[in-house]
Structure 1
Amino acid sequence: MAGCKSNGSCGTGGCNKMNVFDWLGNMDIPSVERYDVVEVRFKNGKKDFFRNVERLDLITGDAVVVEVQNGHHLGFVSLQGELVRIQMMKKKVVDNEEVLAITRLATERDLDKFEQTQARNLPTMYRTREIIHDMGLKMKLSDVEFQADNSKATFYYSADERVDFRELIKVLASEFKIRVEMKQISLRQEAGRLGGIGSCGRELCCSTWLSDFKSVSTSAARYQNLSLNPSKLSGQCGRLKCCLNYELETYMEALEDIPHLDEPLKTKKGLAQLQKTDIFKRIMWFGFQGETVWHPLTVPQVNNLIELNKQGIVPEDLKPVGEDLELVEVEKVIEPEFKVDLSLPTESVKRLNGKNNKKPSKNKPHSRRNRKHRKNK
């Protein structure tokens, strides 16, 4: 079992759903001196830490049999060495006697038995959904994972309310002859287990690399000048996209020097309302009521106008104030020109309408002319 020999950087992404690049994988360290805790990956990117008691010479991607509560399971080595120590510190896992051990490298017999147990996942999930529907439980079953020794199965579900599934556990245990564990997950975790493609065209962050889910609020979209459209801001889990938090700190730092307007700017031409703010170009766009043209002003210009309004001075118009701002070049608003192609023949337009295109047939029995003609006969 030599694994894929990519040291945790599989190019296909199929070897490891929550892939980690082992940037210390090329270090030639004797196996005796290596850190004896190994990170092992299971189904859908689930990971845990196990101690390499036997000092096995492992390679990233090796299939190993590990100890679990009341049995054993089969997983694949995803990380080893000093990076495991860093990951344990990050996830606040204490290196003590409670860390379970790796039993041995998986044999062909173990892999065949593992494939047989994994083949039960989908039929069991479909049958369990039928049972949940018949019992009228308000819960959504998203995944089922059988243990490698075929003695236990974990049922992952999501629910908005508290669910009493004690009777469900009895039915499942008697039908599938296994020990049942029910585990509730959030909608974000459910999307991570199912996977998918996001609106950006890439795989979902929660199913490829994101493991810590932080709360996302609509204020993150407001700071980034995004339209509060639920269909655009929501991910496949139905919650706000996690990527709204990625650049939030950068926007917050850029907004520190941009003035916050509680009221419009006063000019003799009228009140100028703030329409848009280009955060990184540091340009603020203002418009007068009844006009469609927006006037761009730099941040120093806006600060000067605010100071003039506080002093009771009302300028003539939104123009640079002060000699130091007269040379500031501001881009003019260019209204887009929409050209309509009128070369399409009238017959083609009628053909597109479809229903108004057809003329009444003279031979139809319900036409007035035919009814009169039959009556005269």
Structure 2
Amino acid sequence: MACTNCSTGSKDGTPRGCKNNGTCGTDSCNKLTVFDWLSNMSLPGGQEAFDCVEVRFKNGRKEFFRNSDKLTLSIGDIVATEASPGHDIGIVTLTGELVKVQMKKKHVKDTPEILKIYRKASQKDIDIWSTARNREEPMKVVAREIAIRLNLEMKISDIEFQGDASKATFYYTANDRVDFRQLIKDFAREFSIRIEMKQVGFRQEASRLGGIGSCGRELCCSTWLTDFRSVNTSAARYQQLSLNPQKLAGQCGKLKCCLNYELDTYLDALKGFPDMDTKLYTEKGDAVCQKVDIFKGLMWFAYFDNMAHWHVLEVDQVKEIVALNKQKERISALEDYAVEAEENVEKTFQNAVGQDSLTRFDAPKKRNKKRGGKKGGDREAVATEGTPAGGGDRKRNDRNGNDRGDRNRQRQNGPKPEAKQQDGAAVREPRPERQDRPQRNNQPKGEPREPRQDNRPQRNPEGKGGEPRPERQDRPQRNNQPKGEAKPQQNEAQQGGERPEGAANPKKKNNRNRNRNRNKPNDNNAPTQE
């Protein structure tokens, strides 16, 4: 961030600066410094020195004042200047004949209306000025809160107090016109001071804040650039740049100032090129320019009926064709003048530093082979007796000592048929088909299938051996009485008297006990006594 305390005076009257011993991190301190190369030269005899001096204030503001009292001033002196109302405190940056040159450069006329310098600042003036400067940051926070409360689309970027603390200038940025009449009333009520609003551009705000650009260096506007010229998109078109707002815009949100740096060089180079609107008339058809390469001196043309296919021509060839067209002559085709485009040659780079390949993660990972069996590949294990090798497969044996893996493979694949030698090559006999497997129905689709013959023996409903099943005498008959009717009364033996042998007590057994005791022997066969 740019230094904002460089023009603030300390108690002893010297500028406080940013405490970097004259070298600021963003070079904003030295941005407005002027080298007086006429300081060692004396004026001719009888000629008086120019009576105007240049004074610098906060935020890069410079003004010219007249030294009517003939004060002995030098660069770096703190002076009290005339202001409206009251007086202001600033630092002298230039004296002598160079002030006349600067006034001419900035179009300031030497008239009697120029404000004058009162005196060199006293210690009291410096104390009041320093106290007022210390109030700026807390006031800026409160001012932004008031602007947000009033729903104003503006940003308070900075506050500058006058040297006598009688007036405060609020610098703000906004896209549109802002009605800040109510805002000024709230500021005057809150701060009890005279308020002045001044709008600045986004470029001026970025130069005051500072920062690092996309080029990796400090912003030009905060280091050395003082005049902000307008930049438009035509500067990018002439330099054959892509109209991408994200790349062409700077931190201020506007087009970068550096687009104007090389614009004059490109314009001088384009003077030897035909216009982009140049049309070439041929017997095959009319062609229009699509692209220009300033450095190689090439131009790309395409026919109106085939805009996708471009033909490369040199600038001299284009000028020759244009001259023929002016004489109302047509060439046969652009292919006769076309330049062969350079083939794209793949560049190979050697790994001199020993770094890993950038495409090492693009190749798919290799799956690990399954351990054991023929599908994953058998590994020969070399080990001592009873100890398997670290990298080999361990053999799993059953209780009898046989290899379990061989037994499983024989179970899955069956015994291997013996190979026969035929004409020097091994030929295996086909495996015999299993006789116990049912034949598959090879009937074509869409036709009705034949009914399946069931050769299973029929179930004898009468029981095994053809004899009828005996009925169980101890099972109580199910009551098939319809619902809603009263159940018949039970006899005395069933109500509480003697129960027949083998009969169960339905009152004391529930379903859970019946299921649990189903497989147990029945101990209730003994007769019960009353």
TM-score normalised according to structure 2 size: 0.55
User: 1:297: how far off?
Assistant: 4.1
Is the contact made by 1:139 and 1:158 (CA closer than 8 Å) also made in structure 2? Answer: yes
Q: For residues 168-214 of structure 1, what are the alpha-carbon distances to aligned partners after superposition, in whole Å with 9 as ceiling and x for unaligned?
A: 11211121121100112222232233333333334333334444433
**58-67 vs 302-311, greater mean Cα deviation:** 302-311
Matched, 1:333 2:348: no
In the TM superposition, what are the counterparts of 1:269-280 in structure 2 within 5 Å?
274=289, 276-279=291-294
Corresponding residue number in structure 1 for 2:7:
none
Q: 1:22 aligns with which of 36, 40, 65?
A: 36
CA RMSD, Structure 1 to Structure 2 (Å): 3.6
| Change in CA separation of 1:39 and 1:16 when aligned onto 2, cut-off 3 Å | farther
Name the stretch that deviates more: 206-215 or 45-54: 206-215
The 8 Å contact of residues 248 and 256 in structure 2, kept in 1 or not, is answered as: yes
Deviations 1:250-271 (A, max 9, x none): 3223222211243665779998
The 2-side partners of 1:316 and 1:96 are apart by 67
Q: Return the letter of the residue paired with 2:252.
A: C
- CA shift at 1:41, angstroms? 0.8
Count of equivalent residues: 335
Work out which of the two has the higher radius of gyration on C-alpha atoms and give 1 or 2. Answer: 2
Partner of 1:313: 331
Q: 1:201 aligns with which of 205, 216, 228?
A: 216
Please report how far the alpha carbon of residue 223 of structure 1 lies from its aligned counterpart in structure 2 after TM superposition.
1.1
CA distance in 2, matches of 1:29, 1:198: 45
1:1-377 → structure 2 map (5 Å cutoff):
12=24, 13=27, 15-29=29-43, 33-262=48-277, 274=289, 276-279=291-294, 281-284=296-299, 297-308=313-324, 311-315=329-333, 317=335, 319=337, 333=342, 335=344, 337=346, 341-344=358-361
Q: CA deviation at 1:123?
A: 0.9
Query: What is the CA distance between 1:121 and its match in structure 2?
Result: 1.2
CA drift of 1:235 comes to 1.9
Q: Deviations over 1:32-69 (max 9, x none)?
A: 83211111111121111111223233232222221211
- Residue type of the alignment partner of 2:41: M
8 Å CA contact retained: 2:284, 2:332: no
Residue 220 of structure 1, CA deviation? 1.5
Q: SS in structure 1 opposite 2:91?
A: strand
Would the aligned equivalents of 2:283 and 2:330 in 1 still touch at CA under 8 Å? no
Moved more, 240-249 or 165-174: 240-249
User: What is the CA distance between 1:105 and its match in structure 2?
Assistant: 2.5
- Within 1, Cα distance between the matches of 2:193 and 2:258? 40
Give the SS at the match of 1:317. Answer: helix
Counterpart Cα distance in 2 of 1:331 and 1:119: 70
Worse-superposed segment, 248-257 or 84-93:
248-257
CA contact (8 A) 1:295 1:318 kept: no
Specify the alignment match of 1:373 in structure 2.
none
Distance in 1 (alpha carbons) for counterparts of 2:180 and 2:366: 61
State the one-letter code of the partner of 1:93.
V
Normalising by structure 1, report the TM-score: 0.75
Q: Is the 8 A contact 1:269 1:317 kept in 2?
A: no
**Distance in 2, Cα, partners of 1:55 & 1:219:** 51
Distance 2:29 2:366 in 1: 54
Contact 2:43/2:49 (8 A) holds in 1 = yes
Distance 1:283 1:21 in 2: 47
Distance 1:23 1:202, change over 3 A: farther
Instruction: Give distance in 1, aligned partners of 2:153 and 2:109.
Output: 37
CA gap of 1:72–1:229, structure 2 versus 1, over 3 A, is same
3-state SS in 1 of match to 2:271: helix
Structure 2 portions without partners, runs of 5+: 1-12, 17-21, 349-356, 368-530
